[in-house]
Structure 1
Amino acid sequence: MLEVIDKGACSESHPVPLLFVHGAWHAAWCWDEHFLDFFADKGFRALAVSLRGHGNSPSPKPLRTCSLADYLDDVDSVVDTLPTTPVLIGHSMGGFIVQKYLEAHQAPAGVLIASAPQRGSFAFTMRLTRRHPWLTTKGLITGNALLPVGTPELARESFFSSQTPESDVVRYAARLNGESQRVAIDTIWMLPRPKRVTTPLLILGAECDRSILSKEVRTTANAYRTEAEIFPDMGHDMMLEPGWAAVAERIHTWLEMRDLRPHRGEPDQQETTPTG
């Protein structure tokens, strides 16, 4: 059973639930700090899933061997428990998962927050490797992918701006999770196909993000025929940064402007062949 944190309830004014998908090294807890209560208080049913091997979700096989298809199955399994297809909101790797999911599924709307780019995670991997060649190499050898981000100092470098209090960085760093090396490879070659996505998207980025650069967020938005919105003075973990409320408010305003009617679309068969 996957860990799912579930708050609030659907209502006549907000009949469609929100499903939050975390990024690499994180779990459902990162949404439970602020976002789930925020949206539940606004009248939404807000859920966050911990992908297999993350948080309190078990994995039937070693985490480092889990694939992107496994994570997509996790999202699909949660969607299938809901009475109607949710709005999908993904951060970082979770944003990449949302992009891939929407290739083959209809949803009322989607939100990408500091999402891994539509062009793949190769540039991010290279940046991390250049900053910490020994830690990334050791992580590759030992299978411990947490090494390059697993201390408060390293976590701040990749995930947080200078505005985030040190006490918060220490607390969040202690909750970071291992990650799948297989998925790191999958997100390099199993690229999303924007032309197959018809779901309207809101795409947000952070000015001080050292993991996913603003220019990459803008390129992703361009691929989906929309414009990115970049938040100043924020780091990668936009749902945990001191300015998280401005991000949540923007998402809420955007959702309120949309016609979010409950529906269940029939998924097409999802392809897994590499694209460039």
Structure 2
Amino acid sequence: MELELVERLPDSATPERPPVLMVHGLGHGSWCWEHWLDGVAAAGYPAYAVSLRGHAGSSGRLGTARLSHYVDDVVQTALGLPRPAVLVGHSMGGLVVTRALSRYAARAGVLVAPVPAQPAVYAYLRLLRRHPGDALGMLAGRSLPMRPEYLFRELDGDEAARHSGRCGEESPLAQYQLIFHRPAPKPLGGAPVLVLESPDDELLPASSIRATARRYDAELVEFPGMGHDLMLDARWKQPLQAMLDFLARLP
């Protein structure tokens, strides 16, 4: 399996600073971390972003991919880094990271607008009520379209459309699993967890994300007014800084 891995290395590496591995969400790719890759490296951390199998520049069959395969991709990539990494996951990638944390002794985990740790039935029913065509299409095996209004609330319209247009298809099996998955075990070795979210997220209810934070005894930081793609919306520097502050406090 050839996985696309984008890296940004700091000008001067500090040995005690762990690498940071970022994992994208539904229909995205490593490209969605372009702002944060530069910001993390500028703060002195080696920064990496992986495209899961079948996404962006990675090989693999998307049609048969399952969440367990995505977890394998993350663990395999993390094991190839020089030191134990901080795992950062957005949306579906947040759920993948919670599962990877139970298999890989990470320094920490950061969940960015994550698919809830518990089965996302409530999130799906909310989507069904607000956008019935897209929700029913998911059950029929079609990819949930990454519409600008799903992802952004503050970004310029042309820029939002550009990012939305870069999104691709998603595995129908993985999409189905998002709704009915089992909660992942607690992080291996008790790795600390940070959760970043917006109460105005169009795709995922804040109550479910807050429940995820409670499950992992995680620090929770909220950004009212932002959209689902916290790492690309207009105020992307604010959640990035919250993550950097969290990393600076790691033992």
Query: Residue in 1 aligned with 2:4?
Result: 3
Query: Residue in 2 aligned with 1:51?
Result: 52
Pair 1:165–1:194, CA change in 2 (3 A): same
**Whole-angstrom CA distance in 2 between matches of 1:16 and 1:37:** 16
**Whole-angstrom CA distance in 2 between matches of 1:167 and 1:232:** 22
Q: What letter is aligned with 1:30?
A: C
Pair 1:108–1:157, CA change in 2 (3 A): same
Query: Residue in 2 aligned with 1:214?
Result: 206
Indicate conservation of the 8 Å contact 2:22/2:49, yes or no.
yes
Indicate conservation of the 8 Å contact 2:193/2:217, yes or no.
no
Alignment of 1:29-68 (within 5 A): 29-32=31-34, 34-59=35-60, 61=61, 63-68=62-67
Indicate conservation of the 8 Å contact 1:121/1:184, yes or no.
no
Alpha-carbon displacement from aligned partner over 1:196-232 (angstroms, at most 9, x marks no partner): 6711001111121011222112111111123422111
Question: What secondary structure is seen at the aligned counterpart in 1 of 2:190?
Answer: coil
**Whole-angstrom CA distance in 1 between matches of 2:64 and 2:125:** 21
Confirm or deny that 1:201 pairs with 2:193: yes
TM-superposed deviation, 1:250 = 0.9
TM-score (norm 1): 0.84
Confirm or deny that 1:191 pairs with 2:183: yes
TM-superposed deviation, 1:180 = 1.1
Question: What secondary structure is seen at the aligned counterpart in 1 of 2:102?
Answer: helix
Higher Cα Rg: structure 1 or 2?
1
**Whole-angstrom CA distance in 2 between matches of 1:196 and 1:39:** 24
What's the C-alpha RMSD, in Å, of the aligned pairs?
Answer: 1.9
Query: Residue in 2 aligned with 1:271?
Result: none
Gaps of 5+ in 1: 260-276
Alignment of 1:7-26 (within 5 A): 7-9=8-10, 11-12=13-14, 14-26=16-28
Indicate conservation of the 8 Å contact 2:138/2:172, yes or no.
no
**Whole-angstrom CA distance in 2 between matches of 1:136 and 1:195:** 31
Confirm or deny that 1:83 pairs with 2:82: yes
TM-score (norm 2): 0.92
Query: Residue in 1 aligned with 2:160?
Result: 169
Between the aligned residues of both structures, percent identity stands at 34
TM-superposed deviation, 1:42 = 1.2
Name the count of aligned residue pairs.
248
Pair 1:138–1:224, CA change in 2 (3 A): closer
Q: What letter is aligned with 1:50?
A: S
Alpha-carbon displacement from aligned partner over 1:145-186 (angstroms, at most 9, x marks no partner): 14xx24xxxx2332111x211011110111011111111222
Indicate conservation of the 8 Å contact 1:217/1:228, yes or no.
no
